[in-house]
Amino acid sequence: MVKRRIAEILRSGQPDESLLIQGWVRTKRELKGFSFIEVNDGSSLASLQVVMNQDLPDYEAIIKKLNTGASVEVAGVLVPSQGKGQRIELKAETVKVYGEADPETYPLQKKRHSYEFLRTIGHLRSRTNSFGAVFRVRNACATAIHQFFQERGFLWVHTPIITASDCEGAGELFNVTGFNLKDIPRTEKNAVDYAQDFFGRPTYLTVSGQLEAEVMAMAFSNVYTFGPTFRAENSNTSRHLAEFWMVEPEMAFCDLDGDMDLAEAFLKHVFKYVLETCPEDMEFFNQRIDDTVLATAENIINNEFQRLTYTEAISLLEKADVKFEYPVSWGLDLQSEHERYLAEQLFKKPVIVSDYPAKIKAFYMRLSDDEKTVRAMDILAPKIGEIIGGSQREERLDVLEKRILAQGMKPEDLWWYLDLRRYGTVPHAGFGLGFERLVQFMTGMGNIRDVIPFPRTPQSAEF
């Protein structure tokens, strides 16, 4: 008897095929002389209907165990379905119950549950339709990302999770220590004696793999990272996580125009792949979560992104017939409401804003000839605002040293990063994309905590 996944059976299974399935019971209906159960194994949104006749061995004992949530193995023959909504069903010949689920205590009964409630049962919520669809789309997004870069000859590099550098200079870092917190060594001046710590210096969980990706790009030309990053930002909002995944390509011999071209092609590829790979799940989101999900995806795929400078964007915002909550003037960073106005109302498609004021951007971004702006870019998308941030990096040693000092950082802490400019420096560029932000945007889910299996947020590390 051949074991098959339910997605494959629903797609191509034929009557008279003998096969075996394993999964979890979603629903049960008992009728006179026979029963129906819906079995789902996580491979698809839809479940496979199983018909059990009362002449099955131990029918009465088995049917009592087949409550919602029970795990089961069914062997049988596919037959044409007599009911509506499914092409085929499985006529059971043998049924084995692996694990029961008490209907009095199992929290996922056949009814709608709020996402707030489902977050309290993170160990079970993936069995629901919504989260099954989310995590299949998340998987497809990750596959598309690797496919995009691998097809273009990029090297996937694993940058460190433990680091001594703060890439963004924001200071929102989780400390890493081997100290016994009840007995921390102190210097004569009563400062923490990091020389006695595991790494001999202050270390942190990384906020970005970019600086290390630049190291690798200086040897392999085109590289990308795809891994977890961390921010100790005490923000209890629907947009923030303390642990999230970042995608960060880095390209040697590349300027900002090349960076923008790659970022646009990247987003189009990922959206196209997901629409082709997960049509059922995306239709579910369009029907149940946000009825603009499919239109937004098509907008990304089929439109050339609008490009304009920060200065042009500020001018357009100042002329806008809209009352913004936050002020608009040259030198201030764009807020989400400004970004969404440009992408949703003004251009009605993704927008790439470039050449931001140097004072509001990171030290590593290339200073423009006007010495007021840097060669940075953000991609702004309808419904969410900024989805990608990138820049051409500063490849000139003297300029980079001045930028580091101007931001109150110590050049000696980044000696290795400066070495890249001393030995064989080249123009190079890259961008970063928050993976969960992408999945949230693609699915229409309202809270970023619902697009990662185990969200890490302030006061929450339960599962």
Helix axes of 415-422 and 210-220: crossing angle, nearest 10 degrees: 30
Residue 240 has pLDDT above 90, yes or no: no
Helix ranges (H only) for 237-278 are 256-277
Indicate whether 170 pLDDT > 80.
no
Counting every residue written for the chain, the total comes to 463
What ranges make up the beta strands (E) of 169-232? 175-176, 203-205, 222-230
Q: What pLDDT does residue 167 have?
A: 61
The per-residue pLDDT for 39 is: 98
Q: What is the mean pLDDT of residues 364-370?
A: 96
pLDDT digits (tens, 9 = 90+) for 312-327: 999 999 999 999 999 9
Which residue type is seen at 36?
A: F
Reported confidence tier of residue 84, pLDDT bands at 50, 70, 90: confident
Contact 20, 41 (CB under 8 A): no
Residue 374 has pLDDT above 90, yes or no: yes
CA 248, CA 39: separation in Å to the nearest integer? 39
Segment 375-394, tens digit of pLDDT: 999 999 988 889 999 999 99
Note the pLDDT of residue 85. Answer: 81
Has residue 83 got a pLDDT over 90?
no
Q: What is the mean pLDDT of residues 248-272?
A: 98
Note whether 204 and 172 are within 8 A (CB).
Answer: no
Residue 149 backbone class (left: φ over 0; alpha: ψ -120 to 50; beta: rest): alpha
pLDDT at 463: 82
pLDDT at 4 over 70: yes
Mean per-residue pLDDT over the chain, rounded: 95
Average pLDDT over residues 59-80: 97
Within 10 A of 31 (CB to CB), how many other CB atoms are there?
Answer: 8
Averaged pLDDT for residues 266-286: 98
Q: What is the pLDDT of residue 352?
A: 98
CA distance 10 to 168: 48
Question: Helices in 278-396 by DSSP H: which ranges?
Answer: 279-288, 293-302, 310-319, 336-340
236 pLDDT band, cuts 50/70/90, is: confident
Q: Which two tokens stand for residue 9?
A: 């059976």
User: Percent of the chain, pLDDT > 90?
Assistant: 91
pLDDT in tens, 188-226: 999 999 999 999 999 999 999 999 999 999 999 999 999
Distance CA 372, CA 355 (A): 9
pTM attached to this predicted model: 0.95
